[in-house]
Amino acid sequence: MVIIFKPKASKKEIDHILEKLKELKLEPKVSQGIERTVIGVIGDEAKLRTQPLEVYPGVEKVIAVQEPYKMVSKEFHNKPSEIKLGKNIVVGGKKIVVMAGPCTIESKERLMYLAKHVKKKGAKFLRGGAYKPRTSPYDFQGLGEEGLKYLAQAKKATGLLVVTEMMDVRDLPLFEKYADVIQIGARNMQNYNLLKEVGKSKKPVLLKRGMANTIKDFLMAAEYIYSQGNHQVMLCERGIRTFETSTRFTLDIGSIPVLKEKTHLPVIIDPSHAAGKRAYVSAISRAAIAAGADGIIVEVHDKPEEAVCDGPQALLPKMYDELMVELKSIAQALGRDL
Amino acid sequence: MVIIFKPKASKKEIDHILEKLKELKLEPKVSQGIERTVIGVIGDEAKLRTQPLEVYPGVEKVIAVQEPYKMVSKEFHNKPSEIKLGKNIVVGGKKIVVMAGPCTIESKERLMYLAKHVKKKGAKFLRGGAYKPRTSPYDFQGLGEEGLKYLAQAKKATGLLVVTEMMDVRDLPLFEKYADVIQIGARNMQNYNLLKEVGKSKKPVLLKRGMANTIKDFLMAAEYIYSQGNHQVMLCERGIRTFETSTRFTLDIGSIPVLKEKTHLPVIIDPSHAAGKRAYVSAISRAAIAAGADGIIVEVHDKPEEAVCDGPQALLPKMYDELMVELKSIAQALGRDL
Amino acid sequence: MVIIFKPKASKKEIDHILEKLKELKLEPKVSQGIERTVIGVIGDEAKLRTQPLEVYPGVEKVIAVQEPYKMVSKEFHNKPSEIKLGKNIVVGGKKIVVMAGPCTIESKERLMYLAKHVKKKGAKFLRGGAYKPRTSPYDFQGLGEEGLKYLAQAKKATGLLVVTEMMDVRDLPLFEKYADVIQIGARNMQNYNLLKEVGKSKKPVLLKRGMANTIKDFLMAAEYIYSQGNHQVMLCERGIRTFETSTRFTLDIGSIPVLKEKTHLPVIIDPSHAAGKRAYVSAISRAAIAAGADGIIVEVHDKPEEAVCDGPQALLPKMYDELMVELKSIAQALGRDL
Amino acid sequence: MVIIFKPKASKKEIDHILEKLKELKLEPKVSQGIERTVIGVIGDEAKLRTQPLEVYPGVEKVIAVQEPYKMVSKEFHNKPSEIKLGKNIVVGGKKIVVMAGPCTIESKERLMYLAKHVKKKGAKFLRGGAYKPRTSPYDFQGLGEEGLKYLAQAKKATGLLVVTEMMDVRDLPLFEKYADVIQIGARNMQNYNLLKEVGKSKKPVLLKRGMANTIKDFLMAAEYIYSQGNHQVMLCERGIRTFETSTRFTLDIGSIPVLKEKTHLPVIIDPSHAAGKRAYVSAISRAAIAAGADGIIVEVHDKPEEAVCDGPQALLPKMYDELMVELKSIAQALGRDL
């Protein structure tokens, strides 16, 4: 922690801070500048984080030297975390992973059809929502447990693992029963009670970044889950909100190298919600893999005209097939594989 | 709904849409332009909202003519809603209302002291968090039910009404017991299960705008509560996330006239979270009242150095007192009062 | 300047920086923390600003303690600057000032009519563009010098001072002849050659904030003008670009107290471009004055249907008249006047 | 154009618009809905664009059906434009192009050294600023004409083409003499007089997107140049301003497929300014090529410690070399080449 005083801070004001530091058993290093005084603090910064030092008289600003997240940081664990599921599937390893399926589960038949299709071309996970966070109360809210059952059936038929969104703390038992990976949606990234709840579970979690959240906020949300004991956390960037409206959100492609520098957790990209329009999904997916993402989670639908949700952004099966070929080439060009 | 076709849409593609509209018993008005065809649709737009018309071949874009929210709109109820609490308190009436208190409840003594202070200068509501959404899992998470009890005691001592944040669907019985107004925080604005839960309650709700949510999203969230039967919804703008970092968030002052045009619900402003720094809170509060807000919810603390949360943005009691005088003058200058 | 090293920075890397500081005759204060080393630097920070210290091996980040602007800061000149024009007009004094008129000069008759109208209710300046920065090359680009002549005639007839936008470095002689205040538009806030050019002029400058510029960028742009010798700079906040689209831009109301804290220059608000819709202009104007702005620059048009530019955001004369009454009341409620 | 009326618009208000359309020789198609009236307008939309229809009484909103740009659109020219320079260099063709060099020209020796280095590994263009738009008036402003001469010498020695930024309308003759491609910087993207000036030149232009400009604004700026007769325009995305601060700007990766859909002009990506930190530059560059960009413009410096500008974001020569190998592999994986 570095404490910067105002140009006219009095000796009394500076001494006041020095006493506070002494109380906390922290060691101050005072730099008496020409215009102002600066104190560098030695010791555990966490002790200071709960002290509102900015409000002390004479203080201009206080700067953290350490990042506020601990366990999800590279400093805590300096190799990439590999999350192993089932026999052969690893998220965060050499092979990139593809999670694919419809936005929402609409019927058993369609889900089964799509599951078989995406599996054939390389997907390892089936995505599909049974509980949907819809902007309007008048929109279809999902099939609920029935949808989870269809997922289980599709898993049985194809061997795909199931990733699906949980929105309510009361639903954990259901998700522990039916899901392989519990997805926390962007709108719930700072629903801290939900994070704590899945943090107590043994199921891997796919945590989506909130649309207005910084990378620091994102890692703090992951820390909520990780610090409860659940270390199988995958991060998912899905676009942030900006002034640009040609795409639904703006995919933060730079977040991939930033996350790879700061955390050991695997990084998955959701190109579908970022794009909002199917014509843009493949380009964003290729970019994600080229930038170093560990996988994508993508929407696919054979009859988007009939989709109850987000039809415009779902890839047609044929587009999905072509994309898988491109992703494999890019992965191989960079020493990975699909 | 207006459906705009691509310049080269075929007759077959246009007929396909016309059939779909017929099926839904909607009447099309076709405009055959020089470059492209446009269809205006007559009838209940809600029927179309669940149809992904953009994905039909030949369609370029689809534009909604009606807003997606219904019950919270001015068209549904064209006079301002007044929310009456207790004998003499009205939110959304001629008098502006002030909600004040600490960010977090720290102790019974401090809460009592602050409650008495803010009451004396004009506040009608005591604010204070017992359950806190903290960015870090290592920060103080609130006193929980004990905090709610202190609020009830402060209410008894002062007559102030209690407004406090609920974060978990399982806590509703507690809040129905202790709170006069249930606050839904910005981070939970799209936690739809929470919205539905308070929508079933009889308690008034103060709904904060999410930091990345448009005014339309905000009104849709209010519609979630309202459509469940709880019509006592107050909207609270508290700053949106932008690139500017001098303030913690950017208060969207323009949202006040926009909301006043579009909805009948009262509008409260939270200057504290927007500012992030106490020196800026009074100016933003004055602006809010001058722009037509129905009240403010503001943080006050007598020893911000000891605050466990958000100390830098709390007004000192003396600053609060001066602000109350200014707000009263501005309210009166505009034909209202405090 | 505070230099923070990476946890594993070597002694050699730290010594490398210490030598560099010695070379520059700056005094280092080393804090050897448990996890990392921090150096506080004493002396003129400007010497270091051109040194890319972040790129030295072992350095994690470098934090400026001083602000990069000098002459426009409160530390340089700690009383508000008053800009005196003509006999009785002061920008930045006790009285707030109103600048009003059409977006674009369309004809002599209309300009004259509007000038007389706005003057009668309290405006001291006539605004109107003769050279217009239009998004489309096919839109009307302004009357050019002819427009400037009409402004001069309206000034002669009414006594209003003239504020009008200059876009091209080659036009300075024309503006020195016809304008009382030269406006630099938002799109040119970082057109540094234009800033330098008006910096050499004796004419006061109204500098608009760019739509994506921070307050720091804004003050640096003002520093460009001020440091060339032109000290008559007025700052104008006109809305920043955010994700919200109900208004054309998001007026940064918090920038008013921030600027009042950091600079001695007067602050003017443009509610018209921020709102984009006339129904919202008055509320934003009232907010600006309540927050402490020194004036507004507002668009007024008697026949917005016929306006060649920005008709939707121009106040009708009657709305303007009502607004002047409200602004006067608010100014007086806060100890100022109109 | 589609004109949507308010629910309570009167017959007189609607007739008023119908007359206006008749005057302009445009054909209206009236849709009388249950709640409101909608008019679709047939004919040349450009006639209406200068009519402020939104301000007519009774009108709620007006929606453009056509895009406001013409000549840069795919509808105007439906094959990708290839810009040919010299004998063998094509921008926008099958081969991706690399433009590389220092941010600012510092000395002849360094420029020569870097030019030779970047050429060897595949660059076709040498970048380097002689006139620099610096945020602070106290920072180095560039070598001016001397810098342009060094570029010419480096070109002679290596055969690289020269791309360099022009900031002032008065400098065109100098740039016509020394540059092969004139760069318009992000801060000048809406400096319309500068756009018109280079629009009259025969030199190809690299137009950078402004940090707060939408893709539509960007294409309108390109239209300014194109419509003046200069058809050799390359678009350059370099990151937009958002709330995220881990990177200097947020590269809008989705803009690549969007631009490829809407315009025939080539698209170049600047990963250096978007990243702001060299560790992130390669990942963003790979993403750009994978998403379909026609090339990159990247900063390289052998001694970033000594760079006078933007040292932290320059690739070291070794990193540049590795990146060229990766980009070639990705290009080939997608059927292109470097």
Instruction: Kindly report, residue by residue over B63-75, the tens digit of the pLDDT.
Output: 776 788 989 999 8
Which tokens sit at A183? 């997805």
Residue C91 has φ and ψ, to the nearest 5°, of: -100, 125
What pLDDT is recorded for position D135? Answer: 84
Alpha carbon of A46: minimum distance to chain B alpha carbons (Å): 9
All chains having 3 or more CB pairs closer than 8 angstroms to chain B: A, C, D
Chain C hits for D210, CB-CB cut-off 8 Å, are 212
Average pLDDT, chain C: 92
ipTM: 0.92
- Examine the pLDDT at B189 and tell me if it is beyond 80: yes
- Examine the pLDDT at C49 and tell me if it is beyond 70: no
Q: With pLDDT > 90 as the criterion, what percentage of chain C qualifies?
A: 71
Indicate yes or no: CB of C135 within 8 angstroms of CB of D68.
yes
pLDDT digits (tens, 9 = 90+) for D274-286: 999 999 999 999 9
CB-defined contacts A:C, below 8 A: 61
The whole-number average pLDDT for the span B316-336 is 97
What pLDDT is recorded for position A58? Answer: 86
Model confidence at A310, in pLDDT bands (50, 70, 90)? confident
| Least CB–CB distance from C247: residue in B246, B247, B254 | B254
Q: How many CB atoms lie within 10 A of CB B200?
A: 11
What pLDDT is recorded for position B311? Answer: 82
- From the candidates C67, C238, C244, C334, which should be mutated to test the interface with B, based on the most B CB atoms within 10 A? C244
What pLDDT is recorded for position D67? Answer: 80
Chain C hits for D50, CB-CB cut-off 8 Å, are 139-140, 308
Model confidence at B3, in pLDDT bands (50, 70, 90)? confident
Return the domain boundaries, chain B: 2-63, 83-333
| SS3 annotation, C162-212 | EEEECCCHHHHHHHHHHCCEEEECHHHCCCHHHHHHHHCCCCCEEEECCCC
What pLDDT is recorded for position B30? Answer: 82
What pLDDT is recorded for position A307? Answer: 81
What pLDDT is recorded for position B315? Answer: 96
Residue C274 has φ and ψ, to the nearest 5°, of: -65, -45
Chain D residue with minimum CA distance to B27: D33
Report the C-alpha gap between D42 and D53 in whole angstroms. 15
The whole-number average pLDDT for the span B185-190 is 97
| Least CB–CB distance from D275: residue in A215, A254, A334 | A254
Amino acid at D265: L
Report the C-alpha gap between B165 and D281 in whole angstroms. 43
What pLDDT is recorded for position B50? Answer: 66
Indicate yes or no: CB of B244 within 8 angstroms of CB of C288.
no
What pLDDT is recorded for position C50? Answer: 66
Indicate yes or no: CB of C2 within 8 angstroms of CB of A7.
no
Q: DSSP strand E in D185-251: where?
A: 205-208, 233-237
> In this structure, which topology does domain C2-63 adopt according to CATH?
Alpha-Beta Plaits (3.30.70)
- Examine the pLDDT at D194 and tell me if it is beyond 90: yes
Chain B hits for D38, CB-CB cut-off 8 Å, are 2, 29, 40, 65
CA distances from D143 to C46, D107, D164, D175, D323 (A): 21, 9, 12, 14, 29
Instruction: Assign B287 to helix, strand or coil.
Output: helix
Beta bridge partners of B98: B296
Chain A hits for C32, CB-CB cut-off 8 Å, are 42
Residues of B with a Cβ under 8 Å from any C Cβ are 212, 214-216, 240, 242-247, 250-258, 260-261, 274-275, 279-280, 282-284, 286-292, 326, 329-330, 332-334
- Examine the pLDDT at A43 and tell me if it is beyond 80: no
Instruction: Between B152 and B22, name the one with better pLDDT.
Output: B152
pLDDT digits (tens, 9 = 90+) for B230-271: 999 999 999 999 999 999 999 999 999 999 999 999 999 999
- Examine the pLDDT at D53 and tell me if it is beyond 90: no
Max mean pLDDT range (A306-310, B6-10, B330-334): B330-334
| Least CB–CB distance from D246: residue in A258, A283, A284 | A258
pLDDT digits (tens, 9 = 90+) for D116-166: 999 999 999 999 999 998 888 888 889 999 999 999 999 999 999 999 999
Q: At what angle do helices D255-262 and D215-227 cross, to 10 degrees?
A: 40
The whole-number average pLDDT for the span D52-65 is 79
Indicate yes or no: CB of C40 within 8 angstroms of CB of A63.
no
The whole-number average pLDDT for the span D93-107 is 96
Indicate yes or no: CB of A136 within 8 angstroms of CB of B305.
no
| Least CB–CB distance from D35: residue in B7, B35, B66 | B66
Architecture label for domain C83-333: Alpha-Beta Barrel (3.20)
Q: Where does D164-211 have alpha helices with state H?
A: 172-178, 192-199
CA distances from B29 to B18, B23, D3, D33 (A): 10, 15, 14, 10
Chain C residue with minimum CA distance to B217: C244
Chain B hits for A196, CB-CB cut-off 8 Å, are 137
Chain A hits for C75, CB-CB cut-off 8 Å, are 7
What pLDDT is recorded for position B4? Answer: 85
DSSP state, A316?
A: P
Chain A hits for D291, CB-CB cut-off 8 Å, are 283-284, 286-287, 290
The whole-number average pLDDT for the span B281-298 is 98
Instruction: Between B232 and B10, name the one with better pLDDT.
Output: B232
Report the C-alpha gap between B76 and C236 in whole angstroms. 39
Chain D residue with minimum CA distance to B241: D243
The whole-number average pLDDT for the span A29-39 is 78
pLDDT digits (tens, 9 = 90+) for D11-23: 898 998 888 888 8
| Least CB–CB distance from C75: residue in A7, A31, A243 | A7
Alpha carbon of D1: minimum distance to chain B alpha carbons (Å): 9
CB-defined contacts C:D, below 8 A: 119
The whole-number average pLDDT for the span C33-61 is 76
The whole-number average pLDDT for the span C99-124 is 96
- Examine the pLDDT at C181 and tell me if it is beyond 90: yes
Report the C-alpha gap between B205 and B202 in whole angstroms. 9
pLDDT digits (tens, 9 = 90+) for D292-303: 999 999 999 999
- Examine the pLDDT at D239 and tell me if it is beyond 90: yes
What pLDDT is recorded for position B49? Answer: 67
All chains having 3 or more CB pairs closer than 8 angstroms to chain D: A, B, C
Give one DSSP letter per residue of B161-186, joined into a string.
EEEEE---GGGHHHHHHH-SEEEE-G
Indicate yes or no: CB of B250 within 8 angstroms of CB of C243.
no
- Examine the pLDDT at C16 and tell me if it is beyond 90: no
- From the candidates A192, A195, A215, which should be mutated to test the interface with B, based on the most B CB atoms within 10 A? A192
By residue count, chain D amounts to 338
Which tokens sit at A313? 């952004």
Chain D residue with minimum CA distance to A212: D243
The whole-number average pLDDT for the span A325-333 is 98
- Examine the pLDDT at C80 and tell me if it is beyond 80: yes
Model confidence at A49, in pLDDT bands (50, 70, 90)? low
- Examine the pLDDT at A50 and tell me if it is beyond 70: no
Query: Burial of C305 by CB count in 10 Å (0-12 exposed, 13-18 middle, 19+ buried)?
Result: middle
What pLDDT is recorded for position A80? Answer: 96
Q: With pLDDT > 90 as the criterion, what percentage of chain A qualifies?
A: 71
All chains having 3 or more CB pairs closer than 8 angstroms to chain A: B, C, D
Chain C residue with minimum CA distance to B277: C258
Taking CA C122 as the corner, what is the angle to CA C120 and CA C127, rounded to the nearest 5 degrees? 90
Beta bridge partners of D78: none
| Least CB–CB distance from A29: residue in C31, C41, C75 | C31
